[in-house]
Amino acid sequence: MAERPRVFVSRTLPAPQAVERLREATALDVWSSPRPPTVDELRERVAGCEGVLTMLTEAVDARLLDACPKLRAVANMAVGYDNIDVTAASERGVLVTNTPGVLTETTADMAFALLLAAARRLAEGEAAVRGGAWGPWDPAWLLGHDVSGATLGIVGPGRIGGAVARRARGFGMRVLYRGHQPVDGFPGERVSLAELLGRSDFVSVHVPLTPETTHMFNAATFAQMQPHAVFVNTARGGIVDQVALREALVAGRIAAAALDVTDPEPLPPDDPLLSAPHLLVAPHLGSATRATRRRMAELATDNLLAALAGERPEHLVNPEAWERRRR
């Protein structure tokens, strides 16, 4: 009987059936602590493994790959994979996979929830109730912004951006989008980034984190937005220059911001960004429903088991690594 491949999973998965499938097919090692493994701990546990199932908190770089020469596959339990050096993995014939599709609707729900909460100042109102600041009805207190009939600009018209656009149409919003190419069937008008920023009452970000999108939103881009605009980011924290965002909020160059992602994560409680007015920050809850996280774990497991069985995974990020292994 052939020896089962060794696999390391970097966090306890909320999907018992997926874990059982891995346990039956592999020699499984699961990181049981609620905190992520350190760089050294990750290298120690992955050494000798043929497969690893990672979260976005684990950096899989050239140094780790060189220390783990038996590694054949990295299954990332996320849509984004900016935590993985894909080029280095491809050079070593290591397959990299992600989990697109299964979290689209859930993340779009979160983006729209943040949009609504920021527009209607729900966090400030809830804090006022708990803090004893709720007084008699005042017609000028905690005034927010109408969502119905407003213009929403979507930066990144992929799956999640499209799902947010569909929700916006249900609220009677006009939708603009910025993309490098027209997107067939996208429920909105394609415009330049400058036009989108200048026309939008709400701006929602859905681009991956790449060298080109790092600090894409900075002092210059915030200056192009309308002073009543609300900024929403559910993509990656590194897309935003947080110093510039704080300055824009303090100066009133934009009206409000709602973030589900920051840089770093978790954001330290003394970070200057948190002192900005009209800011709502959630602890990266975009895909955080029981059903979605279970589907993500199951899809990551599917990807990993396929790769270890010598099959081409359905959600392969680097097909060049597959071709390299077939030579």
- Say whether both 91 and 138 belong to one domain: no
Taking the CA atoms of residue 219, residue 221, residue 227 and residue 231 in that order, the dihedral angle to the nearest 10 degrees is -100
pLDDT score for 23: 97
- Residue tagged 């909460």 (tokens): 117
What is the CATH classification number for the domain harbouring 138?
A: 3.40.50.720
For the chain, the residue count is 327
Which DSSP state fits 275?
G
pLDDT score for 21: 98
pLDDT above 90 for 143: yes
Closest by CA position to 66, among listed 24, 41, 35, 94: 94
Mean pLDDT for 1-9 is 88
pLDDT score for 1: 54
- Say whether both 43 and 179 belong to one domain: no
Tokens representing 302 are: 């599917």
Q: How many CA atoms lie within 13 A of 102 on its CB side?
A: 21
- Say whether both 92 and 159 belong to one domain: no
- Say whether both 133 and 182 belong to one domain: yes
pLDDT above 80 for 327: no
**Distance, CA of 177 to CA of 155 (rounded, Å):** 6
- Say whether both 202 and 67 belong to one domain: no
> Which of 31-45, 106-120, 175-189, 206-220 comes out lowest in average pLDDT?
175-189
**Distance, CA of 212 to CA of 238 (rounded, Å):** 11
Residues known to be catalytic: 236, 265, 284
Q: How many CB atoms neighbour CB 91 within 10 A?
A: 15
pLDDT score for 325: 81
**Distance, CA of 292 to CA of 278 (rounded, Å):** 30
3-state SS assignment for residue 224 = helix
- Residue tagged 């920050």 (tokens): 281
Residue 18 lies in a domain: yes
Closest by CA position to 59, among listed 2, 125, 10: 10
Inter-residue contact 296 to 102 (CB < 8 Å)? yes
- Say whether both 276 and 305 belong to one domain: no
pLDDT score for 180: 84
- Say whether both 111 and 172 belong to one domain: yes
pLDDT score for 119: 98
Give the helix ranges, DSSP H, for the chain.
16-25, 39-46, 62-67, 86-91, 104-119, 122-130, 159-170, 193-199, 219-224, 242-251, 290-308, 319-326
- Say whether both 307 and 274 belong to one domain: no
Mean pLDDT for 165-188 is 94
Q: Which residues span the domain enclosing 303?
A: 6-100+290-326
Q: What element of type H or E holds 73?
A: strand 73-76
Domain tally, the chain: 2
Residue 190 lies in a domain: yes
Residue 96 lies in a domain: yes
- Say whether both 140 and 170 belong to one domain: yes
Mean pLDDT for 175-189 is 92
Residue 168 lies in a domain: yes
pLDDT score for 32: 95
- Say whether both 84 and 148 belong to one domain: no
Mean pLDDT for 152-169 is 97
- Average pLDDT along the chain: 97
Residue 1 lies in a domain: no
Give the pLDDT band (50/70/90) at residue 326: confident
**Distance, CA of 316 to CA of 323 (rounded, Å):** 12
Prediction pTM value: 0.94
Give tens-digit pLDDT for 18-67.
999 999 999 999 999 999 999 999 999 999 999 999 999 999 999 999 99
3-state SS assignment for residue 103 = coil
Phi then psi for residue 178, to 5 deg, are -115, 120
- Say whether both 252 and 295 belong to one domain: no
Inter-residue contact 11 to 36 (CB < 8 Å)? yes
- Say whether both 70 and 116 belong to one domain: no
| Secondary structure E strands in 199-281 | 202-205, 230-233, 256-259, 279-281
